[in-house]
Amino acid sequence: MQKKSSVEIVTEWDIVAARQLGRNKAKEIGFGTVDQARITTAISELARNIYLYARFGNIHIEWIEEGDKKGIKIIAKDKGPGIEDVRKVLEDGYSTSGGLGAGLPGVKRLMDSMEIQSEINKGTTITITKWLR
């Protein structure tokens, strides 16, 4: 099995491709149906953010291991406008798109951890992980 794969996000069809890849990876790693749905949904939200705000970028999906723990790591990377106030986008109900998308707090709740690196006019990298229980 390939440990790493990635999907370029350019059109809205790529959002579908990214989440399908994520679901397949999650299944291969051994996640149950609920976690598969969580991972698929989180990827879909991040891919949509790229498509909406940055126009293009990529979603990188990786099988990770730490000791005897197995998990999945997803990196969503774009060279878009960046996030002005990272703390603010992590508040529930904050949106700049007028209500489209549940936002990053929702994605964070679906996963075990989330890390955001962003620089204005340079881009954003969001890393999310989930461990197999």
Partner 1 sequence: MSLKVPILKLYDCLIVSIQWELDDQMAMMFQEDLLSKLYETEAKGIVLDLTFVDFMDSYIAKVIGDAINMATLMGAKVVMTGLQPSVAITLVELGIHLNSVSTALNLEKGLEQLQKELGV
Burial track 41-66 (b if 16+ CB lie within 10 A, e otherwise)? bbbbbbbbbbbebbeebbbbbbbbee
Binding residues with partner 1: total (CB under 8 A)? 28
Does residue 10 interact with partner 1 by CB under 8 A? no
Q: Which stretch binds partner 1 (CB under 8 A): 11-19, 56-64, 68-76, 116-124?
A: 11-19
- The region that residue 99 occupies, defined by phi over 0 for left and psi between -120 and 50 for alpha, beta otherwise, is left
Structure token digits, residue 3: 């440990």
Per the listing, tokens 């000791």 go with 67
Closer Cβ to partner 1, 17 or 86, answer by number: 17
Closer Cβ to partner 1, 10 or 120, answer by number: 10
Q: Which long-range contacts (CB under 8 A, 24 or more apart) does 30-37 make?
A: 30/70, 30/132, 31/72, 31/130, 31/132, 35/130, 35/132
Closer Cβ to partner 1, 95 or 121, answer by number: 95
Q: Which stretch binds partner 1 (CB under 8 A): 56-64, 79-87, 106-114, 124-132?
A: 106-114
Does residue 107 interact with partner 1 by CB under 8 A? yes
Closer Cβ to partner 1, 97 or 122, answer by number: 97
- Which positions touch partner 1 (CB under 8 A)? 12-13, 15-16, 19-20, 23, 33-34, 36-38, 40-41, 44-45, 48, 92, 99-103, 105-107, 109-110
